[in-house]
Amino acid sequence: MKIADIQTFCVPPRWIFIRVETDDGFVGWGESIVPKRVNAVIGAIRDLAKLIKGEDPRKIEDIWQRLYRGGFFRGGPILMTALAGIEHSLWDIKGKYYGMPVYEFFGGEVREKVRAYAWVGGDRPANIVEHARQRVRQGFTAIKMNATEELHFIDSFSKIESVVERVASIREEFGTDLGIAVDFHGRVHRAMAKVLIKELEPYRLMWIEEPLLSEHNDALPSILRETSTPIATGERLYNRWDFKQVFESRIVDIIQPDVSFTGIYEMEKLARMAEAYDVLLAPHCPNGPISLAASLQIDMCVSNVVMQEQSLGIHYNTGYNGLEQGEMYDYLVDSTELEIKDGFLYPPKGLGLGISINEDLVRDRDHRWDLRDNIWRNKDGTLAEW
């Protein structure tokens, strides 16, 4: 069996799908991300694809090592998401070839289902309690919200108060049974992060996410020693070498790698490393159905997974930044393959990644978009993290 063809598709709302076909007719699907750099991602996928046509798709680790190490310059979001999307496709093919889901290659099921959480609000949160009510009616028992809008290095305490008020309003409405995670999104600088973390302490959060930008992970111990709130990070880290310092800091409780950066096998390796440090895994996935299906393969075979992110109803899917609307279930032949029941996701029952992609619809909606950067500025005109 040889890799015969690799194609890419850009579909609404902002998803990059990869289709790999073998010379004997097996087809696998993968998903890459970084939609604001779509031309760079597609170019990287095509560069990597040229190197593996004619190769045996079952030799996944060898292909991963070659594509990661062979070009001398390695890592980073563009190369890693291109590699990850191709790698998903190869696992999908391998599972179909051997007649089993991907998680069986990593020791088989350790759970029947995994708890899922849903987003409320967006970058400009409004009516957040009503949005939380909608999520609870949908069966979710955990939600995540962005913390702040623009926040300067040192900013008004009123912005801190507005975050606390939003969290408090949800706690008052639902009590402590509803899990709440607050995502700082790397937009809170060190001086203000110390203040905000302290003010949020009484609200018993599930976790605080990306309290600092990933390039400042070395500063986490200096601001987090006094908090009892669990700390999560990792969506902008790409492999085990990036996560080394996070583990060694002994300060992070939950890692959040994205399978569309790490690939499936690398995420499994990260999960085992995390377990040795008594650290949990909550895979990052505000992405499309293929990325979620790939994440679920690891969720099912790793015991230290605590929760799974998913994109149903997320603000990115509703015509974000001028793009067409799209939803997770649009591209599935059978939407029940990724159905959320009572706040839980279940393992897809099919072979490989376990889902069937509606290829006709993918081809029909395929077009390259022009997704612009979010540019946020502080009142003094300086660029703000978003």
Active site residues: 185, 284
Residue 134 backbone dihedrals phi, psi, to 5 degrees: -60, -45
The two structure tokens encoding residue 257: 């790698």
92, HSE (Cβ side, Cα atoms, 13 Å): 32
Nearest to 208 by CA among 244, 163, 239: 163
Alpha helices in 77-150, H assignment, sequence order: 77-98, 128-137
Residues 6+ apart with CB under 8 A from 109: 103, 300, 301, 347
Q: How far is 129 from 164, CA to CA, in rounded Å? A: 13
Counting runs of H as helices and runs of E as strands, what totals does the chain give? 12, 15
> What angle in degrees, to the nearest 10, is found between the helix axes of 77-98 and 289-301?
70
Distance CA 139, CA 135 (A): 7
Pairing of strands 254-255, 280-281: parallel
Structure token digits, residue 277: 């440090």
**Residue found under tokens 């509703």:** 318
**Among 345, 327, 286, 304, which residue's Cα sits nearest to residue 116?**
345
Cis peptide before 125 (omega within 30 of 0): no
Task: Tell me the β-bridge partners of 377.
Answer: 383
User: What's the length of the chain?
Assistant: 386
Helices 289-301 + 264-276 axis angle, to 10: 40
Strands (DSSP E) contained in the chain are 3-11, 15-22, 27-32, 114-119, 142-146, 179-183, 207-209, 231-233, 254-255, 280-281, 308-309, 340-341, 344-345, 376-377, 383-384
